[in-house]
Amino acid sequence: MDKFTTLSGVAAPLPMVNVDTDMIIPKQFLKTIKRTGLGVHLFDELRRTPDGKEIDDFVLNQPLFHDACILIAGANFGCGSSREHAPWALADYGLRAIIAPSFADIFFNNCFQNGMLPIVLPEDVIAELMEEASKGANHTFTIDLPGQRIIRPGGEEIAFEVDPFRKECLLNGLDDIGLTLKRSEKISAFEDNQRAAQPWSAARAPQ
């Protein structure tokens, strides 16, 4: 998993509440178990007509936001099913941080497992950021995870909270598998001791 320290770039405003995971990545694209290749289908039913034509009004189809790496959204973002394909699609598109008043719990947790930073801020602050983000490439934001701050285009700073453990995992690029592998020597030592203490157990273990 890629490390997350600081992120600077364009923020795309998506002033919609209750954006569910089927809107983020529709069900017909869930056949893959790979984390790559889903970005092209992100928000597919919002970005394209049924015949595949791009909808010009959708924010990610507008030239100002083609290179967005931050998404500013409405409340209850990521609700609906627990599909992990939703953060996969967002990350594959290039979005590394999402700022919203609230998130669905499972989606919120899945973001951290996929190297993305979900940030919760009050609705009035979100409204201000939406307005600034609407100016596109003329206004860029910086998210400083070590300092837990968002630097707005004008230089003003907004502090945000993040769980210390999740912060440490993002800074070091560690998901659950990575955390387990950090303890691989202790795991191997335990297995060796277990085999020595209970050889009959090892004999029954599948080869």
Query: Taking the domains of the chain in order of start, what are their residue ranges?
Result: 6-174, 177-207
- What's the rounded Cα separation, in Å, for the pair 192 and 184? 12
In this prediction the pTM is 0.85
Task: Sheet containing 6-9: give its strands across.
Answer: 6-9, 141-144, 149-151, 157-159
Domain 6-174 has CATH 3.40.50.300: no
Summarised one tens digit per residue, pLDDT across range 159-190 is 999 999 999 999 999 876 665 555 556 666 66
Contact 150, 143 (CB under 8 A): yes
Q: What is the pLDDT of residue 204?
A: 54
- Plot region of 62 (φ>0 → left; ψ -120 to 50 → alpha; else → beta): beta
pLDDT digits (tens, 9 = 90+) for 16-29: 999 999 999 999 99
Tell me the mean pLDDT in the region 91-102. Answer: 97
Q: How far apart are CA 6 and CA 70, in angstroms?
A: 12
